[in-house]
Chain A
Amino acid sequence: MMLRLVGRRLLHGLVILFAVSIVVFLATQALPGDAAQAILGREATPERLAALRGQLHLGEPLVGQYLAWLQGIVTFDLGQSLASGLPVSELLIPRISNSLVLMLIAAVIATPLSIALGTWSALRRDSATDHVTSGFTLVLAALPEFVIGIFLVLLLSTGVFHVLPAVFVANEPGPIWIDPLQLVLPTLTLVLAVAPYIVRMMRATMLEVLESEYVQQARLKGLPERTVLLRHALPNAIGPVAQVVALQMAWLAGGVVVVEYLFRFPGVGFALVDAVNNRDLPVVQGLSLLIAAVYIVVNLAADVVALATNPKVRTAS
């Protein structure tokens, strides 16, 4: 039952990814003139236009072009970057791993921290700590991530304290964590951007669970408060919160764009901004699809968590 549900969700994900690929493909078709014209802009000479059109298969019928592109995608051949001439996949793989490291660290810090903070806030309902947490998370949720980033830069590297580097200095060819201090600010910005929603959702869900009759019954059975919380309350609150965590993680995939650009972090976000500036169409297409895929995978993971924490699904035959 569980496997079938997960299988069905996976299938949905693939269908959505397919739809996204059509949208991405058509979006490039909607460029003024044609893609070659848009890419070359003012430098367009008839010869260069013709050459680029050939390289992009623009002469072929639309369906043929799409199928050729799709075939490339499923064989991990995203074409060649127009700016550097390198294969797109080769260009992106180090960027992807950099971004994944950044996102992973942010997620690993933000999720347990937010769940703990939300629970704590719920347990101290209507106390000063609860009000402060609520107010603080609301302010953070209202601020765009680049504002948070700039504020952190001012606070920790340029204005008040001078403890952290303001931008990421690429130390090729070593891995990015060779200098962990450089990772602090981008990570912190992402954590502060995703945590507030999780905290607020956790608090609301936990309040509901704490008011439930089964928690009341657990207390009336004389169980220690620790057991009541960890065994009876928490597992029932995790399901709904997993959905929000997933949405936030998925947001990270797009949210890194601005944050990476702000800190000049060599990840997919920075690459995307670069590619857009250079009108590097194959790279933009590849990255759009990749970000969509992250969304789908993360949401699938959340569905699995929600299903797994629900015994009604788990035990259904």
Chain B
Amino acid sequence: MTSTTPTTPTTATLDVDHLRISGVPSDAVIVDEVRLEIAPGEIVGVVGESGSGKTTLGLGLLAYCKRGTRLDDGRILIGGRDIAVLPAGEVRRMRGVSVAYIPQSPASALNPALRIGTQLRECVGDVDEARVREVLREVALPDDDTFLKRYPHQLSGGQQQRIAIAMAFIGKPRLIVLDEPTTGLDVTTQKHVLETVRRMCSIYGSAAVYISHDMAVVADLVDRIAVMYSGRVVEAGPAAEVLARPRHPYTARLLMAVPDLAGERQMLGIPGHAPSPLHRPDGCAFAPRCLLAEDRCTHERPPERQIAEGHTARCFKAGEVRVEPSPRVEPAVAPTPEPVLEISGLSARYGRKRVLEGVDLTVARGHCTALLGESGSGKTTLSRCIAGLHADFEGTITLDGEPLPASSFRRTTDQRRRVQYVFQNPYESLNPRKTVRELVLAPVKHLCGAVADPEALLQDVLAQAALRPDLADRFPDQLSGGERQRVAIARALAAKPDVLVCDEVTSALDVSVQSSIVELLQRLQAELDLTLVFVTHDIALVRNIAQQVAVLEHGRIVEHGPVREVMQNPQHAYTRSLMKDTPTFVLEGTP
């Protein structure tokens, strides 16, 4: 490994320059030209969508390369020592003491076969018992022997993440790398974890790199933001400035894609998707999706430019970037709608465990009704009961006044046709051996019998789902995540349903893609007079898509009503805590 720049003494905790990480053996450049300087005690947010190279960069800061990657070039000075060129033994001694890592999913990063105590003690060389207990108290966990004897699976998700935080801070490192540490946690837990991270950083004066895909989380926590796209830092600067006056078109679009909790601003998707590391364009990687792109952008790579003190961007058109939030328009829906689905006294079980208790809900025709709740609240079970996928329940569900049998096996073909379901994860809900054409037409053939002109129907629903006609012959693995979810929606639309149940349909997707899917669903709702049942854990998303909301907690509906009323004046304590704990930021210029 060669360092292109001479090593200079520095006061920064972290000083990364010219960092390049490549694939092996493909030689695809995953992370390139990364420059990052972090002062002691500073928290820097690295924001990017999936595939932007942010996790690879985060691991690179500990001189750790996943299988199939290697540190190619550049320096990584931590406290003045270049971890990128040190021998393996030295690197190992720096880890945990100079730089520590907090993983995305503690459930899989904690060893299932080892006690919590063992995993904590080994960080400090099996000696300092007092330190183990001290750090546990600092992250607000019990420090008694019984707790230390537990196994990871005996802890809740939030406790597991606190253990991971404790493990990172036990050696009092100068630098902490946090890789999306709150993904998969409920908002309330997320808030507590973020508070813990902030407090721990200030106790130890540690600098931190906080990797996230979520602008709203980062906005609340960090001092500076570095936005990554396609392996490069495209914009970096003080958090307030980047959020208020982004100088890269990607940053601007990313900000406008974040759902607004207040529901004042329209959430806008970014069309297209990020290029894979194997097929990155010659010029600016964002040019194909950029509205400002000109000829030059497609064949010349923009260099890093200083915009203001400590604020840089890689864009030729940095001066022209504007954030122009457009006001959100409430879609026109029937003011006094008739009910299409009526659920009364529904109680559902999994085995002996009751997951829903006396649920009453009316879904209005042409409206979008959101089922809002955290993991384990029973929201997905309720949507599965509606679709006939979960039959172990009491109570009634009626469709246009006609009672629906519990199991989809007992429902008539027409009843099944009228309620369609879109699953959470488009990477699993599409059969990888079938083409888009087969996938979309299969349920139609089953539910409607012979179709006069299947090809016309196919092109029709693909167009409705904003998919290009030539995608019909592709297989799912030739599609991006957003395209897959559109295929799943097109498949549901092909049956011409009355009610479309969307189960967390955007949670496996990036923010920019999420916005496009929400736009699509809103358009379909208006054009086809479709009734939507939208299951989500994201209250900001509810504000932006639904007209009615039912808030679920522990299997009961605790609050139910029009979204505007519920969110402006939440009655139940649980709804209020969801509102309060959800991270948010107000984009400048929001009407």
Q: Which residues on A are within 8 Å of B, measured CB to CB?
A: 211-214, 216-224, 227, 231-232, 235-236, 309-312, 315
Nearest 7 interchain pairs by C-beta: A222-B95, A222-B96, A217-B109, A214-B111, A220-B101, A311-B151, A213-B108
A311 CB contact (under 8 Å) in B97, B113, B123: B113
Q: Are B92 and A217 in contact (CB under 8 A)?
A: no
Q: Are A214 and B95 in contact (CB under 8 A)?
A: no
Inter-chain contacts of B96 with A (CB < 8 A)? 220-222
B338 interface residue per 8 A CB criterion: no
Inter-chain contacts of A217 with B (CB < 8 A)? 101, 103, 109-111, 164
Instruction: Looking at the assembled complex, report how far the CB atom of A210 sits from the nearest CB atom of chain B, in whole angstroms.
Output: 9
Inter-chain contacts of A219 with B (CB < 8 A)? 64, 95
27 contacts between A and B (CB under 8 A): A211-B67, A213-B105, A213-B108, A214-B108, A214-B110, A216-B66, A217-B103, A217-B110, A220-B95, A221-B95, A221-B96, A221-B100, A221-B122, A221-B167, A222-B93, A222-B94, A222-B95, A222-B97, A222-B171, A224-B92, A227-B122, A231-B114, A231-B122, A235-B114, A236-B111, A236-B113, A315-B154
B108 CB contact (under 8 Å) in A212, A227, A310: A212
Bound form: Cα–Cα A147–B304 in Å: 69
Instruction: Looking at the assembled complex, report how far the CB atom of B389 sits from the nearest CB atom of chain A, in whole angstroms.
Output: 27
Residue of A nearest to B95 (CB): A222
Instruction: Looking at the assembled complex, report how far the CB atom of B177 sits from the nearest CB atom of chain A, in whole angstroms.
Output: 9
**Most chain B C-beta atoms within 10 Å of own C-beta, residue among A213, A309, A310:** A213
Bound form: Cα–Cα A223–B93 in Å: 8
The size class of the interface chain B forms with chain A is 20 to 34
B62 interface residue per 8 A CB criterion: yes
Residue of A nearest to B67 (CB): A211
Q: Are B111 and A309 in contact (CB under 8 A)?
A: no
Instruction: Looking at the assembled complex, report how far the CB atom of A179 sits from the nearest CB atom of chain B, in whole angstroms.
Output: 44
Inter-chain contacts of B105 with A (CB < 8 A)? 213
Instruction: Looking at the assembled complex, report how far the CB atom of B80 sits from the nearest CB atom of chain A, in whole angstroms.
Output: 18
B153 interface residue per 8 A CB criterion: yes
**Most chain B C-beta atoms within 10 Å of own C-beta, residue among A222, A224, A236:** A222
Instruction: Looking at the assembled complex, report how far the CB atom of B132 sits from the nearest CB atom of chain A, in whole angstroms.
Output: 14
Residue of A nearest to B168 (CB): A221
Q: Are A312 and B153 in contact (CB under 8 A)?
A: yes
B432 interface residue per 8 A CB criterion: no
Residue of B nearest to A126 (CB): B67
Inter-chain contacts of B154 with A (CB < 8 A)? 315
B151 CB contact (under 8 Å) in A220, A224, A312: A312
Instruction: Looking at the assembled complex, report how far the CB atom of A119 sits from the nearest CB atom of chain B, in whole angstroms.
Output: 16
Bound form: Cα–Cα A219–B100 in Å: 11
Bound form: Cα–Cα A312–B114 in Å: 11
Q: Are A311 and B93 in contact (CB under 8 A)?
A: no
Residue of A nearest to B153 (CB): A312
**Most chain A C-beta atoms within 10 Å of own C-beta, residue among B95, B111, B151, B167:** B111
A218 CB contact (under 8 Å) in B66, B111, B112, B153: B111
A213 CB contact (under 8 Å) in B62, B109, B122: B109
| Chain B stretch 40-80: residues in CB contact (< 8 A) with chain A | 59, 62, 64, 66-67
Residue of B nearest to A221 (CB): B96
Q: Are B92 and A311 in contact (CB under 8 A)?
A: no
Bound form: Cα–Cα A220–B123 in Å: 10
Inter-chain contacts of B66 with A (CB < 8 A)? 216
Inter-chain contacts of B151 with A (CB < 8 A)? 311-312, 315
Bound form: Cα–Cα A218–B62 in Å: 13
Q: Are B112 and A236 in contact (CB under 8 A)?
A: yes
Inter-chain contacts of A311 with B (CB < 8 A)? 112-113, 151, 153
Question: Given that A214-B108, A222-B93, A222-B96 are contacting pairs, would A232 and B114 also be in contact in the complex, using a CB cutoff of 8 Å?
Answer: yes
Inter-chain contacts of B111 with A (CB < 8 A)? 214, 217-218, 232, 236
Bound form: Cα–Cα A212–B101 in Å: 15
Residue of B nearest to A218 (CB): B111
Residue of A nearest to B126 (CB): A227
Inter-chain contacts of A221 with B (CB < 8 A)? 95-96, 100-101, 122-123, 167
11 additional A-B pairs beyond A231-B114, A235-B113, A312-B151, beta carbons within 8 Å, are A213-B105, A213-B109, A214-B111, A214-B112, A216-B64, A216-B66, A217-B110, A219-B95, A221-B123, A224-B92, A231-B118
Inter-chain contacts of A222 with B (CB < 8 A)? 92-97, 123, 171
Instruction: Looking at the assembled complex, report how far the CB atom of B588 sits from the nearest CB atom of chain A, in whole angstroms.
Output: 38
Inter-chain contacts of B113 with A (CB < 8 A)? 235-236, 309-311
Inter-chain contacts of B114 with A (CB < 8 A)? 231-232, 235
Residue of B nearest to A212 (CB): B108
Inter-chain contacts of A216 with B (CB < 8 A)? 64, 66, 103, 109
Bound form: Cα–Cα A221–B164 in Å: 11
Inter-chain contacts of A213 with B (CB < 8 A)? 103, 105, 108-109
